[in-house]
Amino acid sequence: MSKIKTFEEACEALELDSKKVVPDFSMYPEKHQKAMVAHSKLVIIAEALNEGWQPDWGNSSEYKYEPWFYMGGSSGSGFACDGYAAWNTDSNCGSRLCFKSRELAEYAGEQFTDLYKDYYLM
Q: Residue 26 has what pLDDT?
A: 97
% the chain with pLDDT above 70: 80
Residue 1 has pLDDT above 60, yes or no: no
For 7-33, the pLDDT digits (tens) are: 999 999 999 999 999 999 999 999 999
Q: State pTM to two decimals.
A: 0.83
User: How does residue 52 score in pLDDT terms, banded at 50, 70 and 90?
Assistant: very high
The model's pLDDT over 56-101, given as tens digits with 9 standing for 90+, comes to: 988 989 999 999 887 776 555 566 666 665 655 444 556 789 999 9
Separation CA 61–CA 14 (nearest Å): 28
Contact 94, 56 (CB under 8 A): no
Which candidate, 85, 83, 75, 79, places its Cα nearest to that of 114?
A: 79
For the chain, the structural domain boundaries read 7-120
Do 11 and 41 form a contact (C-beta atoms < 8 A)? no
